[in-house]
């Protein structure tokens, strides 16, 4: 081939590649949203103290400190004297939305004026004007941003101003939403979903939702109470690997997978706080992490879903991850009587405060056990009703089809099946088996039932893979469940649950469980006499073997320990050694007493029966 011909082929190829690159660049998908991080000049930290433990901004002198609750995990604040302008580069043009959580408080007789302005050269267009002494709310406005226009937040007056990182987003007015709803119904036992009560299902709406979803019929939590279980969800780590305890929040270098998701999604949460509170590290990567006192109570399922609907109605966010959590089913049980009467028209009890830690193992008569169970079932029936309403609203709004909806719980609840109450004390299936139902966009995997053992640690890797968000899968214990849904196997051979580092009641010694196929082993560290003195006389813990081994296919209730009849398989013996080493290491490095609870938080824990 002649040299000139070679050159012309090369030039032609080069031009084609260049053209492709130019076209690709031009049509590259523009970001749907943008978080406006301010530079330090626009954020005046002088005169403020930041209380990291209680997540408060403190202002003023020693005698009279004004406390400002941080409006979001990350926020900006300044001391307003006269006028202050915050300039924000929009980076997005056309129809857009503006979101921030805004707090201000006047320190003079005059109101504070807050204006949202679009500015081009000297031309100014006022979009919103608030004049108040106090303001503490979401601030959402619609904008039509022209080229070269800037967004100005202007404040005049004297006082304190704080706001969360402003979000500017392209409004998605179409019905095709890229939404992920993660719904955590705290304390929902797996075997109560679809349970037959008086000839009817206890959860007709969840059953209906299941029809369009993938159902994981053997899903296990990695612990049996709220704090370690939800931390395993968000970190995809075993309890002894994330190491979060009542006394220590999540280390900064540990994974928290909302951070990864936040690269592609706006991340919001309404939750019941307490053991899913900010101070343990749960708010990382969230744009808004709001713990509402109203989500602690019975009836809070309705409040949670209503709050979620209000948010998505008002914002029209393009891509949203919304974590919803309620303590509706958690003791104390006080269901709406309308639902209780559906369970039993003449109930023995109308409400039950729940047993405190000291009465964890208290024996009561069968009739009373039945009455407690009815109250819990009525709470489930009530929650299911509002769950159904939520799903129907999403359908009417047109958001249902394209959304991913994950329904799960963190642990179950015991009604004296193994001689104890509530949760956080054992690893039997009434406590660690959880519902896990995932509705994928456009009902992909509709009606698929997966019976393999999966964990709460697998939920986030599944969400991330489904949304094509990259993360370091080597740094987590969980696995994406998509291969299972596509007929393949998981890499994992066992699944662990434990109460080791992050126990709920100090007097209960550590334990761990190993599940592999149809066998389950529980390893119980012994009670010593000092631990036993904690419990009331009439509620001492039952005698249990150090190692329990169950055939969970034949013995679903885990009543028959077959350790005497059977040699522990080598596979399990090896896992025991590995786990004991991992737990001992975690216990040795366990941090204590770092977290100080505020009055309000102690009140929440009291309301849930965790402290006397």
Q: Applying CB under 5 A, which residues contact Zn ion?
A: 186, 226, 410
Which residues lie closer than 8 Å to 170 by C-beta, 6 or more apart? 30, 32, 33, 92, 94, 95, 96, 97, 318
Residue 139 or 282 having the CB closest to Zn ion? 282
**Shortest reach from residue 331's CB to Zn ion, in Å:** 11
Residue 385 or 411 having the CB closest to Zn ion? 411
DSSP 185-217: ETT--GGGTT-EETTEES-HHHHHHHHTSEEET
Three-state SS at 409: coil
**d(Cα 131, Cα 155) in Å, to the nearest integer?**
10
Which residue has the closest beta carbon to Zn ion?
Answer: 226
**Shortest reach from residue 292's CB to Zn ion, in Å:** 16
Residue 77 or 280 having the CB closest to Zn ion? 280
**Shortest reach from residue 186's CB to Zn ion, in Å:** 4
Among residues 352, 242, 372, 365, the alpha carbon closest in space to that of 298 is found at: 352
Angle at 429 between CA 424 and CA 432, to 5 degrees: 45
Number of other CB atoms surrounding residue 2 within 10 Å: 7
Residue 410 or 458 having the CB closest to Zn ion? 410
Residue 186 or 382 having the CB closest to Zn ion? 186
Residues 131 and 178: beta-carbon distance below 8 Å: no
Residue 274 or 495 having the CB closest to Zn ion? 274
**Shortest reach from residue 505's CB to Zn ion, in Å:** 14
Residue 265 or 372 having the CB closest to Zn ion? 372
**Shortest reach from residue 307's CB to Zn ion, in Å:** 20
Residue with tokens 């885990």: 558
Number of other CB atoms surrounding residue 74 within 10 Å: 15
Number of other CB atoms surrounding residue 137 within 10 Å: 10
Query: 180: cis peptide before it, omega within 30°?
Result: no
Residue 177 or 423 having the CB closest to Zn ion? 423
| Segments of 502-565 assigned E as strands | 511-516, 519-524, 547-551
Residue 314 or 606 having the CB closest to Zn ion? 606
H/E stretch holding 15: helix 3-26
Residues 524 and 514: beta-carbon distance below 8 Å: no
**Shortest reach from residue 225's CB to Zn ion, in Å:** 6
Residue with tokens 């991850």: 321
**d(Cα 32, Cα 10) in Å, to the nearest integer?**
38
Three-state SS at 169: strand
């Amino acid at each position: 081939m002649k040299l000139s011909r070679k050159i012309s082929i090369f030039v032609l190829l080069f031009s084609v590649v260049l053209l492709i690159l130019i076209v690709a660049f031009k049509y590259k998908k523009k970001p749907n949203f943008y978080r406006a991080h301010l530079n330090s000049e626009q954020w005046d930290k002088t005169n403020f103290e930041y209380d990291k433990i209680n997540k408060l901004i403190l202002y003023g002198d020693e005698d009279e400190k004004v406390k400002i609750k941080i409006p979001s995990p990350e926020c900006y604040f300044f001391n307003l004297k006269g006028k202050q302008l915050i300039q924000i580069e929009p980076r997005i043009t056309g129809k857009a939305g503006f979101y921030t959580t805004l707090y201000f408080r006047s320190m003079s007789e005059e109101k504070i004026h807050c204006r949202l302005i679009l500015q081009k050269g000297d031309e100014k267009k006022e979009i919103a004007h608030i004049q108040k002494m106090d303001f503490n709310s979401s601030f959402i406005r619609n904008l039509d941003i022209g080229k070269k226009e800037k967004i100005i937040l202007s404040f005049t007056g004297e006082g304190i101003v704080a706001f969360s990182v402003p979000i500017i987003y392209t409004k998605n007015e179409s019905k095709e939403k890229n939404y992920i709803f993660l719904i955590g119904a705290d304390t929902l036992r797996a075997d109560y979903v679809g349970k037959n009560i008086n000839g009817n299902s206890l959860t007709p709406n969840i059953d209906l939702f299941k029809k369009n979803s993938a159902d994981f019929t053997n899903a296990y939590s990695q612990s049996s109470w709220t704090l370690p279980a939800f931390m395993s969800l968000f970190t995809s780590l075993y309890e002894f690997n994330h190491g979060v305890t009542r006394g220590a929040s999540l280390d900064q270098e540990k994974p928290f997978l909302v951070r990864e998701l936040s690269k592609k999604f706006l991340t919001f949460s309404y939750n019941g706080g307490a053991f899913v509170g900010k101070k343990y590290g749960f708010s990382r990567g969230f744009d808004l992490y709001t713990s509402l006192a109203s989500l602690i109570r019975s009836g809070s399922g309705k409040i949670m879903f209503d709050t979620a609907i209000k948010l998505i109605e008002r914002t029209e966010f393009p891509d949203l991850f919304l974590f919803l959590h309620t303590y509706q089913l958690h003791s104390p049980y006080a269901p709406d009587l309308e639902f209780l009467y559906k369970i039993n028209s003449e109930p023995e009890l109308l409400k039950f405060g729940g047993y405190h830690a000291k009465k964890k193992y208290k024996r009561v008569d069968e009739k009373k056990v039945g009455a407690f169970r009815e109250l819990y079932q009525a709470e489930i029936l009530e929650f299911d009703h509002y769950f159904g309403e939520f799903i129907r609203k999403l359908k009417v709004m047109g958001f249902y089809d394209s959304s991913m909806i994950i329904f799960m719980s963190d642990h179950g609840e015991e009604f004296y099946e193994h001689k104890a109450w509530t949760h956080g004390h054992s690893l039997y299936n009434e406590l660690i088996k959880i519902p896990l139902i995932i509705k994928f966009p456009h009902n992909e995997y509709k009606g698929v039932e997966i019976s393999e053992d999966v964990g709460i640690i697998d939920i986030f890797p599944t969400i991330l893979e489904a949304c094509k968000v990259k993360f370091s899968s080597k740094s987590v214990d969980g696995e994406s469940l998509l291969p299972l849904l596509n007929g393949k196997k998981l890499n994992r051979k066992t699944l662990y649950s434990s109460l080791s580092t992050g126990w709920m009641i100090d007097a209960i010694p550590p334990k761990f469980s190993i599940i592999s196929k149809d066998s389950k082993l529980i390893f119980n560290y012994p009670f010593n006499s000092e631990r036993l003195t904690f419990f009331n006389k009439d509620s001492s813990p039952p005698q249990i073997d150090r190692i329990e081994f169950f055939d969970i296919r034949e013995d679903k209730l885990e009543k028959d320990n077959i350790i005497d009849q059977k040699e522990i398989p080598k596979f399990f013996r090896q896992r025991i050694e590995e786990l004991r080493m991992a737990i001992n290491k975690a216990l040795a490095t366990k941090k204590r007493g770092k977290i100080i609870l505020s009055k309000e938080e102690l009140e929440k824990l009291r309301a849930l029966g965790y402290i006397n």
